Structures are given as C-alpha cells and as structure tokens.
Amino acid sequence: MYQAEIMALLFVAGDQGIAENDLANLLSIDKSAIRQNLEQLEIKLSHDKASGLKLVRFKDTFKLVTKSEYAEVLTRYFKSGLGTKLSQAALEVLSIVAYKQPITRIEVDDIRGVQSSGSVNTLVARKLIKEHGKKDVPGHPNLYVVTDYFYDYFGIKDIDELPKIEEFSTPEGNIDLFNDPNSNNDQDQAAE
C-alpha cells in the first residue's frame, strides 16, 4: 500500500537511507505495517526484471541500491566521464556549503528553496564535501564542510581565497546569494 511512498523517500534519501522507525513516522503508520510494506517491496524489486534497483537493509536503515548484475554498465558509465561533470544544482550546493560551513542539508534546502539530498550525496561521493559532526538540534542532522580535495580541485589554499559574496551582482545591484528574498531570516539564522 505504501510501497511507492517508501521508494520515493528512499530515492531522495540516497546513500544515507532511512531508518525503519523514521519511515513509519514519515508515513504515519505503525512499525508492523512498515515492516510488511518493506518486505513486500524487497520481494517486488528483487523479482522485477524491469527494475535495476533492489531494497537492502543495513542494520536498521533501508536503502535503494543498484542490482549487482548491472555493475558492468555502471562501470562503463563512470569510466566514460559522463559522471564527472557537476550539475548546476551540485555547484549551487557546493558553493553554499563552502560559504556557510558547517551547514546541514536542511539549511541548504532552505537557502535554495528546493530539496538538495541528491546533490549532497553526489558531492560527498566526489569527496568535495564531508560530514563534520552533528548539529545540536532535534534529529541531530549531519553538518557538512568542504574537504581538502575541494581546495585541491579548485586550486585554493584557504576558504578566504573564494570571491567575497559582496562581489556577486546583477544589473539591479548586489544580490544576496544565500538568503531567501521572501524570508526575514538573516545569514546568521540560516547558519545556526
């Protein structure tokens, strides 16, 4: 009954996956119902020849991963260089992390106005950003910072070498890259 919702949530969660309890809470169903739906989804995906995905459990966390029989085509993809370019969304997320670090994914989402988990996962996989502790708020979300590889990749030694935010402008004047123009929050609140 909830299999499509579970797949959508797990897809968005990416490499982090989602704990069984969190799935139950997000879908407002009890643990036995979530277990039943997870079992059914696991069976469905494993037997579906038209699906390249399977459901796996790591301790109490569930993730969608690619089936091992597609390893060869995935290897060709990564060797082709098609997977080496950063999307516009990933570049946006990377710049936000660089300027506002340490920052949570939810804070990045708030700044961008859209969901950013896919880009965060890509940047972590590319070793341009990394988890750097947990924020001391309910849920204890991961904090992200740029990595040493980020500095090498962009040829800088220090974050201070990045252009100042004030240098970014449009024909209408300076723009505030990291705050929602419709929000009353200042930059300090967004970084908290």
Q: What is the pLDDT along the chain (192 residues), one digit of tens a residue?
A: 799 999 999 998 887 889 999 999 999 999 999 999 999 999 999 999 999 999 999 888 999 999 999 999 988 877 776 666 788 999 999 999 999 999 999 999 999 999 998 899 889 988 899 999 999 999 899 999 999 989 888 888 888 888 887 776 555 554 455 554 444 444 333 333
Task: Extract the tokens encoding 108.
Answer: 């990045």
Find the helix or strand (DSSP H, E) in which 96 lies: helix 88-100
Task: Give the domain range for residue 8.
Answer: 3-70
Burial 19-31 (b: 16+ CB within 10 A, else e): ebebbbeebebee
Would you call 102 exposed, middle or buried from its count of C-beta atoms within 10 A (0-12, 13-18, 19+)?
middle
Is residue 92 located within the same domain as residue 63?
no
Q: Is residue 16 part of a domain?
A: yes
Q: Is residue 150 part of a domain?
A: yes
Contact 27, 34 (CB under 8 A): yes
Is residue 113 located within the same domain as residue 160?
yes
Contact 26, 33 (CB under 8 A): no
What pLDDT does residue 81 have? 63
Is residue 36 located within the same domain as residue 92?
no
